[in-house]
Structure 1
Amino acid sequence: MVFIKINSIYFAIMDFNTLPDPHDLIYFQEIARTQNLSRAAERLGVGQPTLSLSLKRLEETLAIQLFVRRSRGLELTIAGQRLLRECNGLMDSWERIVSETRKSKTELIGRFRFGCHPSVGIYTLGPNLKSLMSQYPGIEIELQHGLSREICEGVISGKIDFAIVINPIEHPDLVIHRLAGDEVGFWRTKRGVEDVLIYNPALSQSQNLIKKIRQPFARTMTSDSLELMATLADAGVGTAILPSRVVKAIAPKLIRVFEKHRFLDEVAFVYRVDLPKTAGSQCIVDQFKSLKI
């Protein structure tokens, strides 16, 4: 134990140089059980010199004698008896820790980060997350949102475990399951304001369509919410550039205009190639890789 002084107060911190080798503790337990170095070495399958060196190293680490030699063999000192009690408890705790840790590989448990654009989540997540969460009570989901390209970058960098994205770029670290297609186009009501264009300037699909259309709009209205844009178009505020699946989910009465101008999208489920293969992660992959939307 090392003590440091901060503002006249002493704090005790662990000196990691005094941590014993786990093998030394295992060897110590066997020596204590057999009370004989040669017998302990035979049971452990190691040479007696190795065992003697291990015991010496452990006593030097703890700076205390653990055994005394008697005519009938080795006998634990008071310090050795105490170490044996603590060591037995430590090993039991370690076995429990290993068991609990390994459960994540075989049991359907875990907290996973799932990314998607909010608009994509509207028409993809509901029924599938309901099925997942009802069947597997040990699964927890942390939803993260952003543009699809940002979400994809999050998956590649390991900050997001799974994602449903639009038009993912091929990457050696990505597994891509293509789910469905979509079309981005111009939508409005029959009696909507005709000279107002509502769009999200951050979406490349919008920029692509604006360049193609010949009929200019006198005014524009921008928003980063496709849901709000669909609602505004449905209220007759103007013509909105929207994915057809968002229109179907939010404002199904909108009609498409300038039909020859459209941008084809691809909806995909993605995750990293090196995603840890646990029972929990596999059930999410199975749930979403063949998603019907």
Structure 2
Amino acid sequence: MDIRQLHYFLTLAEEGSISSAAAALHMAQPSLSENLMRLESKLGVQLVVRSGRGVTLTEAGQLLAERGRGIVDAAARAISDIRHAGTEARGLVSIGLPPSLGLLLSVPLAETIRSEYPDVRLRISEGLSGDITEWVENDRIDLGCVYELRDNRELLFQPLLAEKLFLISAPDNLPEGANLEDPDAPTIRAIDLRALPLALPAASHGARKVVERFARAAGIALNVVVEIDSLPQIVTMATRASAYTIVPHAAVIDEVAAGTVRAIEIVEPTMTRTAYLLRKRTRPITRASQAVQQSIAVIVREMIERFQLDAVAIDATGRDRA
């Protein structure tokens, strides 16, 4: 199996049909079909199931698509690194961001890289902390931002920021127990969260794990009435007074500014979480990935200051930790 065959297969997996993939690759459909058959023959397994609607990946095909992307990206990166060794930052850098950090970082990071490093191509993927960690482990991405650290000696991490979590409420649905002495900075004690109907991500979500761990430490049982793995939908539940939710300030900057929600600080104790930047120990550090990593640290500090977020940028030295 060569890189070109793998590239053809990955395009087919992304497009979902021979005709669409052939058009994307600027090649004839019979040639693409022949390449696919040769690849299946080499591997000794069926990779796709053909139908009138296109192609569906088999279990083996899904595995090849998952692992193959990292291989193709690594090959492209190696070629670029060899061609431009010792010169300026250039090439592809892929990064995974959880939804709340994506809201804060994606656009300013893309704009910064495009402006300051025009030869760097940035690919941003959104996912859960667990998924992002697996992408780093499997070489699908160069860098990942997560809230949950996995015990894996192959991974290096750098703390990015510590942020407070807030109870989010519709303005006309403020919870009992909320302290409104300072109308611009309402608070609620952790113990008063017990009876509130909450909309949270599923238990596998890194953000949910942080909240559950906090609740156990505070000795309270949360009343989770619905699980939604979508940050916008969870916030919508709060704006419609259908439930409350718990997220960082960065996740509701626009809604708070528009007055569609209130962010209520959780106290006694304060609820916080830490975001980390991950990379794989054995993955080569390119000038491009260094540029992206440094840009992330700078943008985090800028966003905290610009939006007056209840968060603190940490460990700005850029040192990795095992």
The reply to whether TM is greater than 0.5 is: yes
1:144-180 deviation per Cα after TM superposition (whole angstroms, max 9, x unaligned): 2211122122212322101122243454322322111
Pairing 1:9-24 to 2, within 5 Å after superposition: none
Q: Deviations over 1:110-157 (max 9, x none)?
A: 122210112211112322321111222221122222111221222123
2:268 to 249, 260, 270: 260
Alignment of 1:111 with 2:92, yes or no, is yes
Paired letter, 2:212: Q
The partner residue of 1:166 within 121, 128, 147 is 147
Does 2:252 match 1:247? Answer: yes
Q: 1:175 and 1:241, CA in 2 relative to 1: closer, same or farther beyond 3 A?
A: same
Describe the SS at the equivalent of 2:285: coil
Q: CA RMSD in A?
A: 3.1
- Corresponding position of 1:271: 279
Identify unmatched segments of 5+ residues in structure 2: 1-37, 39-77, 176-195, 305-322
- SS at 1:178 equivalent: strand
Residues 1:104 and 1:164: Cα distance change in structure 2 (over 3 Å): farther
Contact 2:155 2:280 in 1 (8 A): yes
Structure 1 residue runs of 5 or longer lacking an equivalent are 1-12, 14-97
8 Å Cα contact 1:123/1:245 also seen in 2: yes
Superposition deviation, residue 255 in structure 1? 3.1
Distance 1:101 1:146, change over 3 A: closer
| Number of aligned residue pairs | 196
Matches within 5 A, 1:129-208: 129-169=110-150, 171-192=152-173, 196-202=197-203, 203-208=208-213
Which residue does the alignment assign to 1:5?
Answer: none
Q: What letter corresponds to residue 221 of structure 1 in structure 2?
A: V
Partner of 1:125, secondary structure, is helix
**Gap change, CA 1:142 and 1:215, over 3 Å in 2:** closer
Shift in Å, 1:236: 2.3
> Contact 1:110–1:280 at 8 Å: present in 2 too?
yes
Alignment of 1:221-232 (within 5 A): 221-232=226-237
Q: Partner residue of 1:76?
A: none
Residues 36-47 of structure 1 mapped to structure 2, 5 A cutoff: none
Contact 2:92 2:123 in 1 (8 A): yes
Letter in structure 2 aligned against 1:122: L
Show CA shifts across 1:178-226 (max 9, x none).
1110123422134228653211133213434565575875x82321112
Q: What is the alpha-carbon distance in structure 2 between the residues aligned to residue 149 and residue 139 of structure 1? A: 27
Higher relative contact order (CA 8 A, sep 6+): 2
- Name the counterpart of 1:102: 82
Sort the Cα spacing of 1:231 and 1:261 in 2 relative to 1 into closer, same or farther, 3 A: farther
1:118–1:145 CA contact under 8 A, matched in 2: yes
- When the two structures are superposed, what TM-score results if normalisation uses the length of structure 1? 0.56
Runs of 4+ residues deviating >4 angstroms: 98-101, 209-217
Partner of 1:125: 106
Given that 2:106 and 2:124 are in contact with CA atoms closer than 8 Å, whether structure 1 keeps it comes out as: no
With the length of structure 2 as denominator, give the TM-score of the two structures: 0.52
- Distance in 2 (CA, whole Å) between partners of 1:260 and 1:157 is 40
CA distance in 1, matches of 2:225, 2:250: 23
